[in-house]
């Protein structure tokens, strides 16, 4: 990942995840929606837009990893937060399973049996084992490669749509594909909407990266808007091409599309995008080249999406253990590899393998929807609750549309999103027996473990937020791993950064360089201050460069607040920092510096939740 996470990096990473799911979601949705597949993607896309708006506002409010779990902690209590996190963990487990399961399907261009059971199961299991092993030994993800592939993926999908529009698109066929109430039946149509949400796997990616973003108040909403636009451009148009190329027709006495049929019946449910390519009307060498290109690209992107799921599962489990929702052993690092081995093996290895062992792609799809719709519903409900109970007159970002009633700005997007995802969750529970029992079983096991662990080990009420102390080994007892350095123009700030880098010399330590723009009360916090922002960004770039020279990872964070001191203290608390290193000049201050640093150092010393080290520059 590039060192500064701005809108481009957040967008590319999020689309890398969201865009990968079309490679399996199209076929899974077509199984239920048949000729209504394009309409179903439109409906699911509108729900996605509402969900993205909720995540954007929630993440700007609380720029920390966790997504719905974090929102629920602030809006409700730790039990609801656990429910959201546990559902999200299920989503990661199924994401790993689905992505890995479809890698062999796209590689079947080289060896046909990979498209079907049992070889796709074998291939998927191998993919999972390889990625878990790589993550256990701690191989770094080639982030730049992932971002490049995400861009290539979007470009390829746009190209497919463009070629499809000119070669096969037929509005008449799309209308003829629809047989209301017959193909699909109304119940299949109802279940197809939550299943289509599978296409939007990865909406929480931006939230999870928010801690690393320099200016979340600006970059997070922009990234979400762009992902929504990209999703709109592809997910509303590719199904039009797919259903034109593979129309609904009578096959073996049933109205269906080859997009929905398994490979043994001559269909493309297991590799829908390859099916689209094969039926675009291309021939000869062009078709061969297009198939090989799409097959390799899809397999690579799904491989990377599997890895993102593996990392997501380990991160959320670590976070849950940090909040004492799961036993401490889940965040314990391997003494040699320094990775959460137990978590990786259990939740990113064994659980996804169990999900793909039956070899049923529809089960994988519905199980994903079970976890995702539950997690999204909690996210929407949390945002509505936050607006009602913790209204921020000074909010940095407020999604729209809203309805002002009784002094509260009710978020219509969250209310609509919550109702839609809630109903979708109920549809999945009612209509699919296997998913119902596995999903409910997952929740029951989770809540039982949570309740027993809380009562017996933590000895704390279930609803109370309890944070575990930092997980230090004996060798790290005197090391600092999370440091905050407020930055401002001038030598004292650079000196503080030098000192912090020396303290953070231990591998794995991270410094957050924080630049606060103090906004006077007569201006709104979200108002653009171009010059001050540019200046703050330059200071943050310099801080990152100082970190680079020491080999220490520095994350730049730009915040807007009424008081710099309050912002620094809040950032230290949110990040669980162990020390704040703050520079203070010895020489006489200019009036503008005194206004910020004098009172700021004083405030931080009085209110910081951790140690504070004030460094004084040599007088000049």
Partner 1 sequence: MSFYRWAVVVFSLVFVGIGIALLVRTAAEGGGVVGFLLGGLFIALGVGRLSLERKRHGS
Q: Give the residues lining the site for partner 1 (CB under 8 A).
A: 6-8, 11, 158, 161-162, 165-166, 169-172, 174-175, 222, 225-226, 229-230, 232-233, 237, 240
Q: Residue 185 CB, nearest distance to partner 1 (Å)?
A: 22
Cα–Cα distance for residue pair 181/319, rounded to 1 Å: 45
Minimum CB–partner distance for residue 208 and partner 1 (Å):
21
CB atoms within 10 A of CB 117: 16
Closer CB to partner 1, residue 40 or residue 98? Answer: 40
Phi-psi region of 281 (alpha: psi -120 to 50; beta: other; left: phi over 0): left
C-beta closer to partner 1: residue 230 or 245: 230
Smallest distance from partner 1 to CB 166, Å: 7
With beta carbons less than 8 A apart as the criterion, state whether 289 and 55 touch: no
Q: Name the minimum Å distance from CB 232 to partner 1.
A: 8
Q: Which is nearer to partner 1, 159 or 357 (CB)?
A: 159
Q: Are 312 and 274 in contact (CB under 8 A)?
A: no
Q: Which two tokens stand for residue 211?
A: 């801690």
Query: What's the CA angle centered on 322, arms 317 and 324, to 5 degrees?
Result: 95
> Cβ of residue 240: shortest distance to partner 1, in angstroms?
8
Query: Which CB sits closer to partner 1, 175 or 405?
Result: 175
How far apart are CB 497 and partner 1 at their closest, in Å?
28
Q: Residue 161 Cβ, how far from partner 1 at the closest point, in Å?
A: 7
| CA distances in angstroms from 29 to 239, 423, 569, listed in the order given | 10, 18, 48
Distance from C-alpha of 398 to C-alpha of 391, rounded to nearest angstrom:
11
Which of 121, 154 has the CB closer to partner 1?
154
SS3 (DSSP) at 146: helix
* Comparison of 233 and 345: residue with beta carbon closer to partner 1: 233
Q: How far is the CB of 8 from partner 1 (least distance, A)?
A: 5
User: Which residue is listed with tokens 């039956």?
Assistant: 358
E-strand ranges in 177-300 read 249-251, 254-256
Q: Which is nearer to partner 1, 226 or 517 (CB)?
A: 226
Query: Given the complex with partner 1, which of 276 and 321 has the nearer CB atom?
Result: 276
| Spatial contact of 560 and 516, defined as CB atoms under 8 Å apart | yes
Q: Shortest Cβ distance from residue 6 to partner 1 (Å)?
A: 7
By C-beta, is 479 or 533 nearer to partner 1?
533
Q: Going by C-beta distance under 8 Å and a sequence separation of 6 or more, which residues neighbour residue 592?
A: none
**Residue 153 and residue 15: Cα distance in Å, rounded?**
9
What does the alpha-carbon distance between residue 118 and residue 79 come to, in Å, rounded to a whole number? Answer: 40
Determine the Cα–Cα distance for residues 307 and 377; give it in Å rounded to an integer: 26
Q: Which two tokens stand for residue 299?
A: 């397999």
Q: What is the 3-state secondary structure (H, E, C) of 217-230?
A: HHHHHHHHHHHHHH
User: Please, which residues have CB within 8 angstroms of residue 108's CB and are 6 or more apart in sequence?
Assistant: 114, 115, 271, 295
- Of 12 and 580, nearer to partner 1 (C-beta) is 12
Rounded Cα distance between 138 and 506, Å, is 17
Q: How far is the C-alpha of 154 from the C-alpha of 169, rounded, in Å?
A: 20
User: Taking the complex as a whole, how short is the minimal distance between the CB of residue 48 and partner 1, in angstroms?
Assistant: 16
For the bound state, the minimum distance from the C-beta of residue 64 to partner 1, rounded and expressed in Å, comes to: 23
Measure Cα distances from 198 to 91, 254, 329, 367 in Å. 10, 26, 31, 10
Q: How far is the CB of 4 from partner 1 (least distance, A)?
A: 12
d(CA 274, CA 305) in angstroms, rounded, equals: 18
User: Closest CB to partner 1 among 160 and 356?
Assistant: 160
Q: State the nearest-atom distance from the C-beta of 168 to partner 1, in Å.
A: 9
Q: Using the minimum distance from each CB to partner 1, give the nearer residue, 126 or 229.
A: 229
Question: Which sign does the torsion angle of CA 16, 18, 21, 22 carry?
Answer: negative
Instruction: Give the residue with the Cβ less far from partner 1, 161 or 310.
Output: 161
Helices (H), 462-617: 491-503, 530-550, 564-574, 591-593, 599-607
């Amino acid at each position: 990942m590039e060192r500064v996470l701005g809108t481009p990096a957040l967008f590319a990473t999020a689309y890398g995840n969201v865009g990968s799911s079309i490679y399996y979601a199209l076929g899974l949705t077509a199984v239920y929606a048949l000729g209504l597949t394009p309409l179903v993607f439109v409906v699911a896309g509108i729900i996605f837009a509402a969900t993205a708006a909720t995540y954007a506002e929630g993440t700007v409010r609380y720029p920390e990893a966790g997504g719905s779990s974090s929102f629920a902690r602030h809006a409700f209590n730790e039990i609801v937060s656990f429910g959201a996190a546990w559902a999200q963990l299920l989503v990661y487990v199924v994401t790993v399973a689905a992505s890995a399961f479809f890698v062999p399907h796209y590689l079947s261009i080289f060896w046909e049996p990979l498209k079907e059971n049992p070889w796709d199961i074998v291939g998927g299991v191998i993919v999972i084992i390889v990625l878990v092993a790589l993550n256990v030994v701690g191989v770094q993800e080639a982030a730049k490669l992932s971002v490049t592939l995400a861009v290539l993926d979007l470009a390829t999908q746009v190209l497919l749509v463009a070629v499809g529009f000119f070669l096969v698109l037929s509005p008449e066929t799309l209308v003829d594909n629809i047989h209301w109430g017959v193909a699909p039946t109304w119940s299949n149509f109802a279940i197809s909407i939550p299943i289509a949400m599978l296409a939007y796997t990865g909406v929480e990616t931006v939230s999870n990266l928010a801690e690393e973003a320099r200016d979340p108040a600006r970059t997070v909403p922009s990234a979400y808007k762009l992902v929504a636009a990209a999703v709109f451009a592809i997910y509303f148009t590719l199904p039009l091409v797919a259903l034109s190329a593979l129309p609904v027709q009578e096959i073996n006495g049933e109205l269906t599309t080859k997009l929905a049929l398994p490979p043994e019946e001559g269909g493309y449910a297991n590799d829908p995008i390859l099916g689209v390519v094969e039926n675009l009307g291309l021939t000869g060498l062009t078709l061969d080249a297009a198939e090989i290109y799409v097959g390799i690209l899809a397999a690579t992107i799904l491989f990377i999406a599997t890895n993102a799921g593996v990392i997501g599962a380990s991160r959320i489990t670590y976070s849950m253990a940090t909040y004492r929702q799961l036993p401490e052993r889940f965040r314990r690092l391997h003494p040699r590899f320094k990775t959460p081995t137990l978590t990786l093996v259990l939740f990113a290895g064994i659980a996804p393998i169990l999900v793909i062992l039956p070899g049923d792609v529809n089960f994988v799809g519905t199980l994903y929807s079970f976890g995702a719709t539950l997690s999204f519903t909690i996210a929407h409900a949390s945002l509505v609750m936050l607006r009602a109970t913790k209204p921020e007159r000074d909010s940095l970002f407020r999604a729209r549309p809203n309805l002002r009633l009784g002094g509260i700005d009710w978020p219509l997007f969250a209310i609509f999103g919550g109702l839609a995802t809630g109903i979708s969750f109920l549809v999945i529970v009612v209509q699919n027996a296997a998913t119902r029992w596995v999903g409910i079983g997952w929740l029951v096991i989770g809540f039982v473990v949570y309740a027993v662990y809380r009562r017996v080990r933590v000895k704390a009420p279930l609803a109370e937020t309890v944070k575990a102390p930092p997980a230090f080994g004996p060798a790290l007892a005197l090391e600092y791993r999370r440091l905050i350095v407020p930055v401002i123009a001038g030598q004292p700030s650079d000196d503080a950064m030098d000192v912090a880098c020396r303290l953070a010399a231990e591998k794995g330590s991270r410094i957050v360089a924080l630049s606060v723009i103090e906004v006077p009360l007569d201006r709104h916090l979200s108002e653009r201050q171009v010059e001050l922002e540019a200046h703050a960004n330059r200071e943050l770039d310099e801080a990152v460069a100082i970190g680079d020279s020491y080999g220490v990872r520095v994350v730049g964070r730009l915040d807007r607040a009424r008081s710099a001191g309050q912002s620094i203290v809040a950032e230290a608390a949110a990040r669980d920092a162990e020390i704040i290193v703050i520079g203070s000049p010895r020489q006489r201050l200019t009036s503008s510096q005194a206004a910020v640093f004098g009172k700021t150092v004083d405030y931080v010393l009085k209110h910081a939740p951790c140690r504070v080290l004030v460094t004084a520059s040599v007088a000049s």
